């Protein structure tokens, strides 16, 4: 019995350490994702302002709630897979496939709820079928998860490599969404169209950086202990 206890102790300690590391990684990813959502909203406000389309405080709050909730859920979902040492690539890809549609739907609900709470009417004709967009985003972030999971295990897989992966994935799938939007909703304003294009292409870049930074910060903190 004493021998079994001695052998079980290291296993229990390793399991506790792994759980602690995962929790810390998710917390870092969550805060970085919130910052990403805020940064994206700030960039879009500057872009709209440059194009002469200034929003009121109400729509800004609603858009911020949507961007932050989307960034938080999808990046944290991917970070769970990125924290897995064994089978990281398929696990991250699977979680991206599942997390993105869920995050998209939640962010839509949050946005609508914020608009209703602020008594603001939603703009019409700016979105494709939600089901179609959720499907494309599931495929997009499934591919992003696979790519980031693979790149993160390469010796050259630094910040630039993560950004490149995010840009390629965003260009392919985000470009698809923008092209479908242009074909199905020609009445969408030029400002909304440009803002959507920038968001669809650049957000995967930011999410890839969130995953890289969360892991890099964890490694740096562990080496300093």
Interatomic CA distance for residues 166 and 145, integer angstroms:
10
**What is the predicted pLDDT for the residue at 52?**
74
Confidence label for 126 from pLDDT (cuts 50, 70 and 90): low
Interatomic CA distance for residues 9 and 80, integer angstroms:
26
In a domain, 202, yes or no: yes
3-state secondary structure the chain: CHHHHHHHHHHHHHHHHHHHHHHHHHHHHHHHHHHHHHHHHHHHHHHHHHCCCCCCHHHHHHHHHHHHHHHHHHHHHHHHHHCCCCCHHHHHHHHHHHHHHHHHHHHHHHHHHHHHHCCCCCCCCCCCCHHHHHHHHHHHHHHHHHHHHHHCCCCCCCHHHHHHHHHHHHHHHHHHHHHHHHHHCCCCCHHHHHHHHHHHHHHHHHHHHHHHHHHHHHHHHHHHC
In a domain, 179, yes or no: yes
In a domain, 137, yes or no: yes
In a domain, 13, yes or no: no
**What is the predicted pLDDT for the residue at 121?**
66
**Token duo for residue 39:** 């940064």
With beta carbons less than 8 A apart as the criterion, state whether 93 and 78 touch.
no
- Strand segments, DSSP code E, in the chain are none
Q: Is the pLDDT of residue 128 over 60?
A: yes
With beta carbons less than 8 A apart as the criterion, state whether 67 and 40 touch.
yes
In a domain, 118, yes or no: yes
> Could you give the number of structural domains in the chain?
1
More confident site: 184 or 121 = 184
Confidence label for 208 from pLDDT (cuts 50, 70 and 90): very high
Residues in the chain, total: 225
Q: Is the pLDDT of residue 6 over 90?
A: no
Model confidence over 142-172: pLDDT tens digits?
999 999 999 999 999 999 999 999 999 999 9
Model confidence over 23-60: pLDDT tens digits?
888 999 999 999 999 999 999 888 888 877 777 788 88
Confidence label for 183 from pLDDT (cuts 50, 70 and 90): confident
With beta carbons less than 8 A apart as the criterion, state whether 25 and 79 touch.
yes
In a domain, 76, yes or no: yes
Q: Is the pLDDT of residue 108 over 90?
A: yes
Interatomic CA distance for residues 26 and 23, integer angstroms:
5
**Token duo for residue 181:** 């939007």
Q: Residue 25's domain spans which residues? A: 19-224
- Cα-based distances in Å from 137 to 14, 124, 178: 36, 21, 12
In a domain, 2, yes or no: no
Interatomic CA distance for residues 225 and 215, integer angstroms:
16
- The pTM of the full predicted model, rounded to 2 decimals, is 0.86
In a domain, 68, yes or no: yes
């Amino acid at each position: 019995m004493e021998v079994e206890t001695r052998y079980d102790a290291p296993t229990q300690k390793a399991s506790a350490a792994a759980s602690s590391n995962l929790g810390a990684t998710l917390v870092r990813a969550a805060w970085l994702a919130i910052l990403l959502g805020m940064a994206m909203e700030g960039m879009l406000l500057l872009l709209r302002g440059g194009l002469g389309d200034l929003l009121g405080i109400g729509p800004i709050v609603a858009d911020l709630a949507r961007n932050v909730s989307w960034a938080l859920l999808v990046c944290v979902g991917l970070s769970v897979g990125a924290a897995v040492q064994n089978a990281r690539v398929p696990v991250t890809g699977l979680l991206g496939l599942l997390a993105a549609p869920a995050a998209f739907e939640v962010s839509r609900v949050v946005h609508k709820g914020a608009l209703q709470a602020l008594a603001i009417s939603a703009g019409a004709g700016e979105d494709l079928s939600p089901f179609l967009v959720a499907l494309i985003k599931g495929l997009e972030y499934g591919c992003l998860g696979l790519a980031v999971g693979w790149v993160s295990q390469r010796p050259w897989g630094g910040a630039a490599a993560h950004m490149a992966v995010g840009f390629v994935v965003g260009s392919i799938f985000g470009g698809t969404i923008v092209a479908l939007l242009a074909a199905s909703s020609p009445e969408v304003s030029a400002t909304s169209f440009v803002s959507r294009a920038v968001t669809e292409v650049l957000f995967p870049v930011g999410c890839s950086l969130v995953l890289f930074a969360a892991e890099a910060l964890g490694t740096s903190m562990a080496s300093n202990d």
